[in-house]
Structure 1
């Protein structure tokens, strides 16, 4: 069976949200692939050094190096490892992440060319990134993000009053403050409204969001990071999933929400319009548009047939993200 070195941020043991290196890596292991990983080091410098060390250590015995490729400082991890793979003569696959990666293509064209023109494959998990990379004439293959759909219990919700669920790392780019502002506006109309925010701290936006809620005297449930099993169980209490991000690609949390039967109200940034269609399988608003976010949520209580239409269309959509389907695309690539 093929052997793979997976390079990425394997940081869930430090309280971070599990990323592709842990989810896809586990899926591939279940299919019989042998995987080595780098890195779970918390400090960035040590993580980079560990990635370099593991690449030297495993290059001669693996068939591929799979590299999670992001748009911010982690882009340079991908650049260094990809060029090391070239020197060592091992095939590498760039797995593309992040709604802001197209901006990296503009800002760092020279370095992007070195990575993406020399890879064995560039894998885009969304039509959004697939199209943007095609624009730059890179050879790219579309393989969507994936979940095991049979592990998600699709529930039809009651729409008595708003019970909002937000699931994401607390990072400025995900705009958690908008969730609180939306909740405050809804409380005026629906005094019983609830908001639960699930996710670990990633930057100062965590404290800022809590402080903003306290300052405005609104009660919100902040759970911190939860295991997938725990937040799925918690989701049964809620009836709307909100996604407030400034940048996005194809967020797994949104796909999971649809699998659970939660209607999604999201900003229409990055790859979101390539995943969701307004008024068909979700409700979409412009970035940071508080008034529109509130109004679209109100529609779910004022238009009785709307929640059922959205959730059932969403259920049909997510079938293509099931691992039992997606795994065949990975097997074809790695054969």
Structure 2
């Protein structure tokens, strides 16, 4: 089947217009449209009840008119959006494809086994965006296809930081599971020996953590060394990244964060916790530096080592850029076209 003859209903959290960080639906959907697929979206309301109602309504009213239903699937309460839409798709006889996100999905497989069996064993295919989720799902008895998240690599100009300085960038939503406080701890440690150290935080507030973070850095007396930009467009933070040499990923739970792939593409030295799917994405001292979760001392030492060992830092940057290029849409799209042409 040719893409321009295939219709898709894409269900997810399409909330960028309301100030939320763009989800995969807001990049994958337009990519598929450019390839010729006819895509209709559900999940555009900020209010959770209205968003769920729209998902159910469009599944019922449009489900029989499309060839496939794509469902972004997460581990939190949003899992139940995917579950009910998947069940409805099965009832009306339309092929549905859960797209697996969220580093804590393996826990959901254990907590909600009966629901997971109904959702993932009845699907047309389960798309895992990382080898980590594929491994965990296969181990639990669910078949998967690995299709990674993609980026438009042409939009990410690479710059090799030959002598990296402790100018650090953090890009993620402010949420406890992403542990922004660890970035502040790293900055505080670095300031003891590198008084010119800086930290820039980019991302919207999700659970009140931003205000807690402001109080945290104020108590530490380092607020003058921290810039909090809030939510920025992708284009704006790419420009902003020119002023920084390190990218800190401090999460307690993770899968395959697009922001980390973007940082790799730009030439930032990535220092990340080794949680969830991160070790499947990054290789320690090959294309990034990995440390234990909630261990600010290790992360601090990693930054210091890369400052002192610029040769290692440069090698990591070059390898990271090469890996990021494998996530370019021109390579990833072949997998989607193959999946949606059967």
Q: Does 1:233 align with 2:239?
A: yes
CA distance in 2, matches of 1:237, 1:164: 9
Whole-Å Cα distance in 1 between the matches of residues 30 and 257 of structure 2? 18
Q: Select the residue among 136, 139, 147 that pairs with 2:151.
A: 147
Q: Distance in 1 between matches of 2:79 and 2:165?
A: 43
Corresponding residue to 1:251 among 248, 257, 271 = 257
Q: Name the SS for the 2:192 alignment partner.
A: helix
**Correspondent of 1:87 among 91, 110, 113:** 91
Count of residues paired in the alignment: 335
Contact 1:186 1:294 in 2 (8 A): yes
- Larger CA deviation: 45-54 vs 210-219: 210-219
Aligned to 1:283: 289
Which of these residues, 192, 205, 210, is aligned with residue 209 of structure 2?
205
Structure 1 CA distance for aligned equivalents of residues 314 and 296 of structure 2: 24
The alignment status of 1:333 with 2:333, answered yes or no, reads: no
Alpha-carbon distance between aligned partners in 2 of 1:270 and 1:160, rounded to the nearest angstrom? 28
Alignment pair present for 1:32 and 2:36: yes
2:21 maps to 17
Query: How much does 1:156 deviate?
Result: 1.2
* 1:134 to 2:138 alignment: yes
Match of 2:65 in 1: 61
SS state at 2:200 partner: strand
C-alpha contact (below 8 Å) 2:250/2:294 kept by paired residues: yes
Q: Distance in 1 between matches of 2:56 and 2:110?
A: 27
* Cα offset, 1:186, TM superposition: 0.6
The gaps in structure 1 that reach 5 residues or longer are none
Question: Which digits, 9 at most, give the CA deviation of each residue in 1:177-220, with x for residues without a partner?
Answer: 00111111111111011100000011121111111111222121
Structure 2's unaligned 5+ residue stretches are none
Aligned-pair distance for 1:159? 3.1
After TM superposition, give the deviation of residue 160 of structure 1 in Å.
Answer: 5.6
Quote the Cα distance in structure 1 between the aligned partners of 2:201 and 2:43. 28
**Alpha-carbon distance, 1:290 to partner:** 1.0
Is the Cα–Cα contact under 8 Å of residues 169 and 199 in structure 2 kept in the other structure? yes
Structure 1 residues 23, 160: closer, same or farther in 2, change over 3 A? closer
| 8 Å CA contact retained: 1:3, 1:63 | yes
Equivalent in the alignment of 2:328: 322
Partner residue in 2 for 1:295: 301
After TM superposition, give the deviation of residue 59 of structure 1 in Å.
1.0
TM-score normalised over the length of structure 2: 0.97
Give the drift of 1:158: 4.7
CA–CA distance in structure 2, aligned partners of residues 21 and 281 of structure 1: 27
Do 1:156 and 1:261's aligned partners in 2 also have CA atoms closer than 8 Å?
yes
Aligned match of 2:75 in 61, 71, 75? 71
**RMSD, aligned α-carbons:** 0.8
1:177 partner SS = helix
Deviation at 1:78, TM superposition (A): 0.4
Contact 2:164 2:306 in 1 (8 A): no
203-212 or 151-160, which deviates more: 151-160
CA distance in 1, matches of 2:111, 2:304: 40
Give yes or no for contact 1:161–1:190 (8 Å, CA) kept in 2: no
**Contact 1:158/1:239 (<8 A) preserved:** no
